[in-house]
Amino acid sequence: VSGEPVFAALSDPTRRTLLTRLSDGGPATATQLAAELPISRQAVVKHLEALREAQLVTSAREGREVRYTVTLEPLADAVGWIADVGAQWDSRLAALQSQFSAPRSPK
């Protein structure tokens, strides 16, 4: 997944609100989201479509409605980065600590 569509999709505060709602409250239809949030159903559908193009949500038809679910693939890289970089600094700081706990070697 390229970062650019994700980036563009998330640049809009309404879309971030929708994504947060879908993440916190679970899958929902545009009608449900429009009822909960101060956004028209038409606008909700438009924003959900942008999120879907960025692969941040998936959609599944349910009768006459479409249900939207958050997907994690674009977010997984972020979690991996945080874990990797955190582990690297843990080990570097341990090495820094040993500079101070070990007797200083003459330069």
Partner 1 sequence: MELGKAGRETVVIHSVERELLLPGAEPNEAWESVTDTERLGDWLGGDVDLDPAPGGEFQIVFDGTEEERTGFVEEIDPDEHRFAFWWRRPEDELSTRVEISLEETDEGTLVRVVETSPMATLDLIGIPLPGRGAQGPTALALAVA
Structure tokens at 29: 């239809």
For the bound state, the minimum distance from the C-beta of residue 64 to partner 1, rounded and expressed in Å, comes to 28
Residue 69, helix vs strand vs coil = strand
Query: How deeply is 91 buried, as exposed, middle or buried, from its count of CB atoms within 10 A (0-12, 13-18, 19+)?
Result: exposed
Mark 32-71 with x for binding to partner 1 (rule: CB under 8 A) and - for no binding.
Answer: --------------------------------------x-
By CB under 8 A, residue 14 contacts partner 1: no
Instruction: Tell me which DSSP letter residue 39 carries.
Output: S
The H or E element spanning position 97 is helix 73-101
From 38, 63, 64, 99, residue interacting with partner 1 (rule: CB under 8 A): 99
Structure tokens at 65: 């409605």
For the bound state, the minimum distance from the C-beta of residue 63 to partner 1, rounded and expressed in Å, comes to 26
Residues engaged in binding partner 1 (CB under 8 A)? 3, 6-8, 10-11, 13, 16, 19-20, 23-24, 70, 72, 74-75, 77-79, 81-83, 85-86, 89-93, 95-100
